[in-house]
Structure 1
Amino acid sequence: MTSHKPIWLIGASVVFLLLWSGGFSVAKLGITHAEPLSFLSVRYAAVCGLLAPLVIIMRPPMPKLKMDYVHLAIVGFLIQTLYFGLSYIGFKAGVSAGGLAIIVCLQPILVGLIAPRFTSEKVSLLRWAGLALGMMGAATVIVSRSGVELEHPLGVMAAVGALFAITAGTLWEKRFGKSHHPVVSNSVQYLAGLAGTLPLAIAFENFQFTWNLPFLGALAYLVIGNSIIAMSLLLAMIRAGEVSRVSSLFYLVPPLSALIAWPLLGEEMPPLGWVGFALAAAGVMLARR
């Protein structure tokens, strides 16, 4: 008997890719008006402030086991505190956007290597071919735009740390995650992210912001678009499908980010970039077959 994937997964993939890819350009605008960990702390506090009334009004079903809360908090810490925190620190330290994107785009390869052992998921040769082709396409787009310039050792280390954090968070969610109500899972994970980020921001930064329209717009996009909608879709897709197949979507993030940055930041997409975009799309199609 043939099993069919739910139709909502197709739409979820498109919405997630658009919101997640746009987040890079928006975050780049936002951190010009604030320090990275301070910016993340305000972002997570705003998300928690929006979710708290929903928990009270909706009264969603809560996890029955204490370990469910622990697993949600671990994923929140890995993705919200470590992945985003180290990515923003890498930008501030001077690593180029192209260099950071190439490093983070190694995530599907790591997931494909570790998934069979950690989640008992079999990765086929066709999937491997798609992963490799996607990596080539993403690298082509990034190199065509700005080259690979890793200027600062701290930025490189932060980018590598972000790579391992998002890989660990993805695998942990696949292995231990359960189908909780999105309001509940997001609330726990962003509380964990805030608990991990805020003390570091207080200890190492000055909490200075430029409260202008670009900063507030960037904050609103990242809070609603990235933190609530995109993260809910990502966790739902991980639970509904194979983790390496979902991770292959990240190969489309650098090309789409470049495409969004063209009108938003004035970063033009050269002809070679379109070739890379096509390679990345073909790779994702292979990996998701």
Structure 2
Amino acid sequence: MAQAPQVDRERGTSSQRERRWLTTFGPVIFLLLWSAGFPIAKTGLHYASPLTFLSIRFALSVGVLLAVCMFKRPQWPGTARAWTHLVVVGFLVQVMYFGLSYLSMTAGIATSVLALIVSLQPILVGVLAPKFVGERIGARRWAGLLLGLAGAAGVIVARGPLHAESLGPVLLAVGALIGITGAMLYEKRLGTAQDPLTSNLVQYSVGFVFCAPMALAFEHTQVQWTPTLVATLAYLVIGNSLIAITLLLAMTRAGKVSQVASLFFFVPPAAAVLAYFFLGEVLPSMAWWAMGVAVLGVAIATWTPRK
């Protein structure tokens, strides 16, 4: 009995160490993993067409999650409505966001531009929130919106004049932005809390069910199985789909929601730097200034003062 307080103290100390580790190293690791997903995915697209590549990624993710679920035995959705919500969010995120992002990269968009466009999601959510979820939007958020849009437009223009053939990738990226924004609004208005393992499993399954038939119908499904492709898939399945999401949830449970949200402001420049090292993509100096304006706009629009 005398050992019980000591055991409790040891558990408390261990919990404090884990929390300290999360707050110190977790944000940096998450930022690197998430931002690297853009250039690494584009690297993998050299060896497979976009929907085929995405279908393989989803299939591998489903396999890993099924194995984890058999071991962890998480709770499954208990109602048809909960299943429907997961399917809808899965379609918006996995099919629209990832599908159109991969198509955009295949069509030639720079990963830094894609990362910047989809990072405008918090602003777009804020603009549409009054209509869909009844939230008011103030002058500060409007100012952030205008800065974000101006910065995004500046990055695109700085890379050169847009022609008809270069407008398509940008429109696909905007479609990906609409997909992730729709998922956020839908989740906020109608979503229900579910176990992360089961929700991810359902959503990746939805992505596979939609993308695989389209790949078979519209793409040549030949895959060049090289060590680079295998490493790319391993990273996207383990680094992006499992480790990054697990870190995100762990940091949220540690009470660092605002810190995690602020990390997304740094995804576009981090993706641009990593794209330079991985792909040799170079941004003009004016594009860096415009990107800074866009990141500032997102930060202003989504910043919440402490109470």
Same fold (TM over 0.5): yes
Q: What is the identity, as a one-letter code, of the residue corresponding to 1:200?
A: M
Q: 2:144 corresponds to which residue?
A: 130
Give how far 1:119 is off.
Answer: 2.2
Give 3-state SS (helix, strand or coil) of 2:222's partner. Answer: coil
Name which of 87, 99, 109 aligns with 2:101: 87
Amino acid at match of 2:203: Q
Q: Write the deviation string for residues 126-161 of structure 1: whole angstroms up to 9, x where unpaired.
A: 2333343344445545554x3364525654543332
Code of the residue aligned with 1:177 in structure 2: it is: G
Given candidates 270, 295, 299, the residue that maps to 1:256 is 270
Contact 1:141 1:277 in 2 (8 A): yes
Cα pair distance change 1:133/1:157, threshold 3 Å: closer
Q: What is the letter of the counterpart of residue 303 of structure 2?
A: R
**Residue 179 in structure 1 maps to residue 193 in structure 2:** yes
TM-score in terms of structure 2 length: 0.76
1:230-285 deviations in Å (ceiling 9; x for gaps):
45666899999999x95x86553322211111222222355445434543443344
Q: Which residue of structure 1 lines up, in the alignment, with residue 213 of structure 2?
A: 199
Question: Where does residue 147 of structure 1 map in the other structure?
Answer: 160
Residues 62 and 201, structure 2, Cα contact 8 Å, conserved in 1 = yes
Q: Is the 8 A contact 1:255 1:276 kept in 2?
A: no
Aligned-partner Cα distance in 1 for 2:207–2:46: 22
Instruction: Select 1:117's aligned residue among 131, 148, 155.
Output: 131
More displaced 10-residue stretch of structure 1: 42-51 or 73-82: 73-82
**1:204–1:269: structure 2 CA closer, same or farther, 3 Å change rule?**
closer
Residue 228 of structure 2 aligns to which amino acid in structure 1? P
Q: Which moved more, 1:11-20 or 1:260-269?
A: 11-20
Say whether residues 1:24 and 2:38 are aligned partners: yes
- Separation of aligned partners in 2, 1:270 and 1:154: 21
Please state whether the residue corresponding to 2:217 is helix, strand or coil: helix
CA distance in 2, matches of 1:68, 1:10: 35
C-alpha contact 1:138 1:254 (8 A) present in aligned 2: no
- Aligned mates of 1:111, 1:233 — CA distance in 2: 23
State the partner residue of 2:227.
Answer: 213
* Corresponding residue of 1:54: 68
Matching residue of 1:283: 297
Structure 2 CA distance for aligned equivalents of residues 259 and 37 of structure 1: 26
**Aligned-partner Cα distance in 2 for 1:165–1:52:** 26
Alignment coverage as a number of residue pairs: 281
Aligned residue identity for 1:90? S
Pair 1:68-2:82 in alignment: yes
Based on CA coordinates, which of the two structures has the bigger radius of gyration? 2
Summarize deviations over 1:54-74 as a string: whole Å, max 9, x none: 111111122222211211111
Q: Does 1:268 align with 2:282?
A: yes
Question: What is the letter of the counterpart of residue 141 of structure 2?
Answer: R
Aligned equivalents of 1:9, 1:189: Cα separation in 2: 28
Cα deviation digits, residues 26-52 of structure 1 (max 9, x gap)? 111110110100000000000011000
Q: Which deviates more, 171-180 or 197-206?
A: 171-180
Per the alignment, do residues 272 and 154 of structure 1 end up closer, same or farther by CA in structure 2, a change over 3 Å counting? closer
**Rounded Cα–Cα distance in structure 2 between residues aligned with 1:59 and 1:288:** 38
What TM-score, normalized to structure 1?
A: 0.80
Aligned-CA RMSD value: 3.5
1:121–1:251 distance in 2 versus 1, CA, 3 Å: same
- Secondary structure of the corresponding residue to residue 229 of structure 2: helix
SS of equivalent residue, structure 2 residue 58: helix
1:288 is aligned with what amino acid?
Answer: W
CA contact (8 A) 2:49 2:221 kept: yes
